[in-house]
Amino acid sequence: MDSSHSPSHPPYDREKSRRDFLVLTAAAMGAVAAGSAVWPLVDQMNPAADTLALATTEVDVGTLQDGQTLTAIWRGKPVFIHRRSPADLAAIRGEEWQSLRDPQSDEARVQKGHDAFLVLIGVCTHLGCIPMGSKVGQPKGDYNGFFCPCHGSHYDASGRIRKGPAPKNMDVPPYSFLSETLIRIG
Amino acid sequence: MAPHLHTSDFKNPVVRWIDERLGVFTMLKKEYGIFPMPKNANYLWSFGGIALTMLMIMIVTGIVLAMSYNPHVDGAFNSVERIARDVNYGWLLRYVHMNGASFFFIAVYIHICRGMFFGSYHRPRELLWIVGVMIFLLMMATAFMGYSLPWSQMSGWGVTVITSLFSAFPLIGDGLVTWLWGGFSVDNPTLNRFFALHFLMPFVILGVVFIHVWALHLTGSNNPTGIEPKTEKDTLPFHPYFTSKDSLALVVFMTLFMAVVFFAPLALTHADHFKPFDALVTPSHIVPEWYFLPFYAILRAFTVDIAIPFTGIVLLPAKLQGVLAMFGAIILWLFLPWLDGSKVKSALYRPLHRLCLIGLLISFIALGYAGAKPAEGLPVVIGQIATFYYFLHFLVLLPVLSRRETPKALPESISAAVAKKA
Ligand code: HEM
Ligand code: FES
């Protein structure tokens, strides 16, 4: 104890700045250590490798008639594949889209050459319910598309939000046509 | 006597031997025997103890339910049905736990109303109050996760809607939701983690209740007059006066609770809670449990985006407004000790304040009604008006009125108030 106050001890101020440096470095190292110890605890809650691996689904749309909708499952979520009749397609393409809540043209939401097929993640962008309109007899909402009963969001036949609390159009998943009738989602 | 042992007043040699080494009996006697209670504390002061009893009941029934529960999406629903049908007394355990949550919330809501009415959040009880609000938030999280465990249509879709709230936050929202789910939809990882957390959190609540009661025993209880005890004449020892009073209240409360458990165990739940979860079909009308309805109505009260006119640039989307308002509605309670600037605690002596508080209660009940209805037509308007009043109360009426209103003359002391009434 006493030796620390011996005359050979460095001047107080120099000692202090050196101490400050040591304390700060130690604290910084401690923060890094704590952070790296906590991160695994936080990140384990993110999707695991096997969950991520369930990433693609193939769907045959050969039997789908005009006006029908087929529901596939991709990553645990429903994907609506809706085949629009030429009349419906013409109607939706004729509408002005620049002033919509989430402005997007129908062309930008489908793949060129397969314009009749609308592929959508069938999840309401409000709070995640499954909108109705994909099955015969279900309400299609005020815009001849989909209607989410949870809090009343109306989507059009392009899956774009038209009315109600949802902020965005229904998402289009990544997909490609493997042939004229086979779609791979993901 | 050995020099380091603390001195105990107890005569019984066994009790004394333990007390000299652990001090528990001295502590219990001080805190629950001679602890001075304001002698005018009425039955509204029994609900803290009732809430604590409910917490214990939830913990005990929860642990035994967990012995037969299967936290996997393929087995969860059936394991709960098996508990209700095949496990010995499983029906009783399930219905006590299920309705117990409701009665826990009834007790705590009454407890909170008591605090708001008699100004129990004022100096020196600010921290006691704030810890109480934290208990309430923890209770909400616990009840929400517990409701997911039967993995019914209501469970799965309730979880979907409520976790999706977090997607309202800009930039981090979607990542946050995926993190909560542990996947791209509400699925097995979600159920597993909710089970782990639902098991854990009541014990966290227990710890926080300990801090709550610790603070209570430093400041002492408030009372209907809101004036602090001045002399010994203002108080009575906790035992036997309040142990007996609280016991009576507890017996009446438990009778009502058991009446529901035995004769109407499903009265507070929904038919869709008895169908297994189907990730592809949303029930046409999903509602949370009754104790969340007022907050759910606040969430849905916001329907118009706030945008810069004519530019289409949305500053605050309706969805985010709703989410912020819903959380804000409870966060506001934390600031009550400072929003209320009155020198007088109890609403009994603040007639205008009392009127506003009654308005607040009415708006809260109206919110509960609006939250239970489908989001269209009149209930939406009722929800919006009630939401408006709710925030008006906390942000305008209370801060202004509490600093302007001249309170009625306070009695000299608690015993003077009691004598006048008698
Ligand atoms: C698990 C939930 C809770 C338990 C078990 C609990 C327990 C208790 C107990 C045993 C008392 C003493 C008896 C009484 O005065 O009623 C008390 C007092 C108190 N509690 Fe709680 N409490 C809970 C939740 C809350 C909440 C949510 C709040 C506020 C938002 C709150 C605020 C208070 C206040 C301010 C007091 C002192 C009140 C007074 O003496 O007037 N408590 N609590
Ligand atoms: S989840 Fe579809 S409107 Fe709310």
**Where in the sequence of chain B do the CATH 1.20.810.10 domains occur?**
11-267
What was the pLDDT predicted at A150?
84
| CB within 8 Å: A165 and B376 | no
**CB-count burial class (<10 Å; 0-12, 13-18, 19+) for B332:** middle
Instruction: Please indicate if any CB of chain A lies within 8 Å of the CB of B306.
Output: no
Handedness of CA B200, B205, B206, B207 (dihedral sign): positive
B291 CA → ligand 2 middle, Å: 21
The pLDDT tens digits for A4-41 are: 455 566 566 777 788 889 999 999 999 999 999 999 99
Ligand 2 site, residue A185, Cβ cutoff 6 A: no
For residue B101, the distance in angstroms to the closest alpha carbon of chain A comes to: 25
**Ligand 2 within 6 A of A149 CB?**
no
Domain boundaries, chain A: 2-43, 51-185
- What pLDDT, on a 0 to 100 scale, did the predictor assign at position B270? 94
* Inter-residue contact A63 to A181 (CB < 8 Å): no
Largest CA distance in chain B: 87
pLDDT the model gives residue B292 = 97
3-state secondary structure of B415: helix
Considering only CA atoms, which residue is closest to atom 1 of ligand 2? Answer: A127
The residues lining ligand 1, judged by C-beta closer than 6 Å to any ligand atom, are B 45, 47-49, 51-52, 55, 108, 111-112, 115, 120-121, 125, 128-129, 132-133, 135-136, 139, 205, 209, 212-213, 216, 221-222, 333
Q: B406 alpha carbon to ligand 1 midpoint, in Å?
A: 29
Catalytic residue among A5, A126, A151, A154: A151
Strand-strand pairing, A182-185 and B36-38: unpaired
Choose among A91, A63, A78: nearest CA to A133: A78
Q: How many Cβ atoms are within 10 Å of B237's Cβ, its own excluded?
A: 15
Question: In this complex, which of B182, B279, B375 lies closest to A45 when CB atoms are compared?
Answer: B182
pLDDT of A124 reads 94
Are the beta carbons of A130 and B280 separated by less than 8 Å? yes
**What is the per-residue pLDDT for A3?**
47
Which residues of chain A are within 8 Å of residue B317 when distances are taken between CB atoms?
Answer: 167
Angle at B309 between CA B303 and CA B310, to 5 degrees: 115
Phi, psi angles (nearest 5°) of residue B76: -60, -50
Average pLDDT over residues A149-156: 88
Q: Taking CA atoms, what residue in A is nearest to B156?
A: A129
The 3 state secondary structure assigned to chain A is: CHHHHCCCCCCHHHHHHHHHHHHHHHHHHHHHHHHHHHHHHHHCCCCCHHHHHCCCEEEECCCCCCCCEEEEEECCEEEEEEECCHHHHHHHHHCCCCCCCCCCCCHHHCCCCCCCEEEEECCCCCCCCCCECCCCCCCCCCCCCEEECCCCEEECCCCCEEECCCCCCCCCCCEEECCCCEEEEC
Q: So what's the pLDDT on residue A10?
A: 59
* Local confidence band at A1 (pLDDT 50, 70, 90 cut-offs): very low
Q: State how far the Cα of B285 lies from the Cα of B87, in Å rounded to an integer.
A: 32
Write down the pLDDT at residue A6.
54
Q: Measure A76 CA to ligand 2 centroid, in angstroms.
A: 18
Give the integer Cα–Cα distance in Å for B151 and B137: 23
CATH fold of A51-185, please?
A: Rieske Iron-sulfur Protein (2.102.10)
B173: chain A residues, CB-CB within 8 Å? none
Which CATH code fits B11-267?
1.20.810.10
Peptide bond into B240 cis (omega under 30): yes
Residue B237 identity: P
Burial of B115 from C-beta contacts in 10 A (0-12 / 13-18 / 19+): buried
Residue partners of B415: CB distance under 8 A and separation at least 6: B39, B231, B233, B234
Token pair listed for B264: 């109407």
Q: Mean of the pLDDT values across residues A76-98?
A: 92
Interface membership of B68 toward A (CB under 8 Å): no
Q: What is the pLDDT of residues A100-131, one digit of tens each?
A: 888 999 999 999 999 999 999 999 998 899 99
Which residue ranges of chain B lie beneath pLDDT 70? 1-3, 312, 422
Facing residue for B164 by CB, picked from A47, A128, A152: A128
Provide the pLDDT for residue A11: 62
Q: Is B42 on the interface with A (CB under 8 A)?
A: no
The predicted structure's pLDDT at residue B296: 94
